[in-house]
Amino acid sequence: MRLLQPLSLLYSALASLNEEMQRRQSPGRLGAPVVVVGNLVVGGAGKTPTVIALVEWLRREGWQPGVVSRGYGRADDQPLVDVQPDTPAAKAGDEPLLIRRRTGAPVVVARDRVAAAKALLSAHAEVDIVVSDDGLQHHRLPRDVEVLVFDDRGAGNGLVLPAGPLRQALPRNLPPQALVLYNASRPSTSLPGACVRRTLAEALPLSAWWRGDTQACRPLSTLAGRPVVAAAGLGAPERFFSMLEQAGLTIERLPLADHADFSALPWRQDTPDVIVTEKDAVKLTPGAAGGSRVWVVALDFVLPPDFTAALQQRLPRRVDASTPR
Q: Decide if 81 is inside a domain.
A: yes
322 within a domain of the structure (yes/no): no
Q: What residues contact 262, with CB distance under 8 A and at least 6 apart?
A: 233, 280, 283, 284, 288
DSSP at 273 = E
Average pLDDT over every residue of 131-142:
89
Claim to verify: residue 130 and residue 49 sit in the same structural domain: yes
Residue 325 inside a domain? The answer is: no
> In the predicted model, what is the mean pLDDT of the chain?
90
Indicate if 117 and 225 belong to the same structural domain: no
Query: β-strands 107-109, 65-69: how paired?
Result: parallel
| 308 shares its domain with 284 | no
pTM comes to 0.91
Residue 272 sits in the same domain as residue 307: no
Say which CATH number the domain at 18 has: 3.40.50
Whether residue 141 is found in the same domain as residue 265: no
- For residues 161 and 216, state if they share a domain: no
The answer to whether residues 29 and 91 belong to one domain is: yes
Q: Which structural domain range is residue 246 located in?
A: 199-300
Flag whether pLDDT at 9 surpasses 70. Answer: no
323 in any annotated domain: no
Residue 191 and residue 215 in one domain: no
Helix runs in the chain, H state only:
5-24, 47-60, 89-92, 94-103, 113-123, 206-211, 237-246, 278-281, 305-314
What are the tens digits of pLDDT across the range 285-314?
Answer: 888 888 899 999 999 999 999 999 999 999
For residue 181, the SS3 value is strand
pLDDT at 26: 67
Split into its structural domains, the chain has a count of: 2
Q: Where are the beta strands (DSSP E) in 152-227?
A: 178-183, 194-195, 197-205
- State pLDDT tens for residues 224-274: 999 999 999 998 899 999 999 999 999 999 999 999 989 899 999 889 999
Q: How many residues are present in the chain?
A: 325
Instruction: Name which of 91-100, 132-141, 245-254 the model is least confident about.
Output: 132-141
In whole angstroms, what is the distance from residue 300 CA to residue 278 CA? Answer: 10
Q: Is residue 85 part of a domain?
A: yes
Mapped onto helix, strand or coil, the DSSP state of residue 38 is strand
Same-domain pairing of 273 and 231: yes
